[in-house]
Amino acid sequence: MINKLILLILSRYYKFKLFYRKFKLFGINYNSNIRIYGDIKILGKRKNITIGKNCSLNEGVLLHGGDKIFIGNNTTLSSNVLVHTGFLTMDILPRTHIYKSISIGNDVWIASGVTISAGVIIGDRVVIGANSFVNKNLDEGYFYAGNPVKKIKKIIYKEWNK
């Protein structure tokens, strides 16, 4: 009897936690298959953010929706990934914020600690190494890493046989 009560309490707690995490996404265009692991931060206009099917957002992800952010299907943002749509002007006084959209393709894996700068387009099937700084567009099907990010190698995908 006590075990059933504990299981009931735990199941309601985890359902509430899942509801709370999804509630944080209120106002964002997202598919129901999205997975959130831990706390994420969303700044700016939530309506500017679109998240595709089967995406994962991990602990510490920050999405800054000053302009449009599009995240494609089957994409993973690992822990502490920062996606910033804004930057300050350096050569115009007084300094003002400029916003540019960011597009992340399908089947992309962004490893932990990556920062993505405003105006970047990331192609499909890209892998970005940990702690990289992305300040330019990335071609599809490559592995990138570094600060600033550099093309490391072409990824040859193999068919998965079960």
pLDDT of 14 strictly over 60: no
For residue 162, is it within any domain?
no
For residue 114, is it within any domain?
yes
**What pLDDT shows up at residue 158?**
78
**What pLDDT shows up at residue 28?**
81
* Residue range(s) defining the domain that contains residue 129: 2-154
More confident residue, 9 or 81: 81
46: Cα separation from own chain's centroid: 14
Please count the structural domains in the chain.
1
Buried b / exposed e over 34-65, threshold 16 CB at 10 Å, is bebeeebebebbeebbbbbeebbbbebbebbb
pLDDT of 19 strictly over 50: no
Residue-wise pLDDT for 107-152, tens only, equals 999 999 999 999 999 999 999 999 999 999 999 999 999 999 999 9
For residue 41, is it within any domain?
yes
In whole angstroms, give the CA distance from residue 159 to residue 77: 23
For residue 50, is it within any domain?
yes
For residue 160, is it within any domain?
no
For residue 161, is it within any domain?
no
pTM above 0.75, yes or no: yes
In terms of DSSP bridges, do strands 69-71 and 102-104 run parallel, antiparallel, or are they unpaired? parallel
- Phi/psi at 51 (5° precision): -120, 125
| 96 exposure class (CB count in 10 Å sphere: 0-12, 13-18, 19+) | exposed
Lowest mean pLDDT among 9-23, 44-58, 99-113: 9-23
pLDDT of 58 strictly over 90: yes
**What pLDDT shows up at residue 88?**
86
Query: Tell me, what CATH number does 81's domain have?
Result: 2.160.10.10
